[in-house]
Structures are given as C-alpha cells and as structure tokens.
Amino acid sequence: MAKWPFPKEKLLIIGEGGVNHCGRFDDAIALCVIAKEAGCDAIKFQVYQPRDIWTEEPDILKREKLQLTLEEYAKVFDYARAIGLVVGASFFGHYGQTLQAKCDFIKIASRSFPDRMPPLVTSRPVVVSCGRYLPAEPNPEWVYMACVSSYPTEKVPFAAMQYLAAASDHGVWGYSSHFVTPYNVDSMAAVRQGARIIEKHFCIDRAGIEIDKRVSLEPEELKYFTEQLRGQMGKP
C-alpha cells in the first residue's frame, strides 16, 4: 500500500457521494460538479454488489437499483479527476477490484474493518473508518477515521478522536461525519483536535434519495460546510 500523499498541514475534505446518485450516471456526474463547486478536495463513492453484504431480499432489491455499472463508475472517476477532484471508493468484496487502479485512495468502511476486509489489489493509500474497532497497533501507512457507524447519530466519537490523535501523532487521522444536528459542530471539533481529513455525505436533493437521507448535505449546505471547516484551520 502507499502512504497518504497529502501534507499534515492540509485539510482534505471528502464529499461522500456514496450511492446518492441512485444508480443514475448523469446524477453521479452532477455529484462530482457539486463537490468541486462546494470546495471539496475529493469525492468518494461506494462500489458493491448488494448480495455480498445484505441477506434480506427487500434490502438487496432496494440497493441493486442504487449501483452504477463498473464501466459507468470508471467514466465517473475519470470525469472527477479531470475537473480536479481526488477520487476514492469503498469496496466491500472482490466486486469492482478493477476500479481500484482508478482511485487515488481506497476506503475501508466500518462494516468491513477489520474482519471483512476487501482484497486490496493495487498500491493506493488506504483510509479506514473505525466505527466498530479501534486498532491496537495502527498500520503506519494507513489513515484512520473516527466515526459512529450506526447512523444517523447525534453522538460525537470524542474518545475515538483522542485515541487516533495520540496514535497518529506521526501522521494524519480523520473523521467521517454521520451527525444530524445543525452547525457541523462535530466536524469542527474534529478539526480542532487535529483531524486533517473530514468526510461528509452529500446529495443533489434530499427529497430525491432514500439511503443516507438524514446525514446528507444539499449543495448549498455542503458549500457552507467546507467554508466553516477551512475557517476552523489555524484558530487557537
């Protein structure tokens, strides 16, 4: 794997597109544009086959409609990079391995870490969400993200932030926000404690999505989010 390539002094904001494109290629492209115009540095999507994760047929059928084809994802990743975004994706199994080479980083979701890790087949920086498990011996080449994996939530994982800040004093750590109360206080608190990667779900329009509705920002909210966080940098 490769080390995180961005300096510790830089705040990198990831717009988590997830599956908020709802399986529509044009909406995935629109999410890239929204992330760029809102001031995000990166965009991330979720690439999976629902049957690899869920066991109940209604869940599987609902989520099958939310996926692009691998060919469509490849085009979206190329487009995102062409407009100046860093590109990442979460993988949940063998499915989509060919796309890892098109990513600037690979995200390991909380549900996968540490006992259901997808195969990592390319040399890319790895970002790990620690909603279920905090590593006793962190891999110095990985970036760990504090988060609450059961969401939406009004809880802020301060203990996990403090643990990662201490464990990562030689490098970079981050925070993945699933917070639903106003003003982005959770992400601002993470930045104040030293997080240099912040990830936040966003969408085109909350009325048009079903999954992650309560934790996703709309375009103007995402722009305000990035402005708030960048304003937090450097404050005592």
Closest Cα to residue 2, out of 107, 170, 145, 124? 124
Q: Which sign does the torsion angle of CA 192, 196, 201, 204 carry?
A: positive
Q: Tens of pLDDT along 151-207? A: 999 999 999 999 999 987 667 999 999 999 878 999 999 999 999 999 999 999 999
Instruction: Tell me how far apart the alpha carbons of residues 142 and 20 are, in angstroms, rounded to a whole number.
Output: 26
109's tokens: 């979701």
| pTM, rounded to two decimals | 0.95
Beta strands in the chain (DSSP E): 12-18, 42-47, 86-91, 105-108, 126-129, 142-146, 173-177, 197-201
Specify whether the CB–CB gap between 201 and 16 falls below 8 A.
yes
DSSP state of 154: S
Q: Tens of pLDDT along 101-159? A: 999 999 999 999 999 999 999 999 999 999 999 999 999 889 999 999 999 999 999 99
Instruction: Tell me how far apart the alpha carbons of residues 221 and 227 are, in angstroms, rounded to a whole number.
Output: 10
Taking each helix axis from N to C end, the angle separating 219-232 and 185-192, rounded to the nearest 10 degrees, works out to 30
Q: Which residues contact 44 (CB under 8 A, 6 or more apart)?
A: 14, 15, 16, 17, 18, 87, 88, 89, 90, 107, 199
**CA-to-CA dists, residue 227 to 2, 58, 178, 188, 221, angstroms:** 30, 39, 19, 11, 10
* Residues in a beta bridge with 45: 18, 89
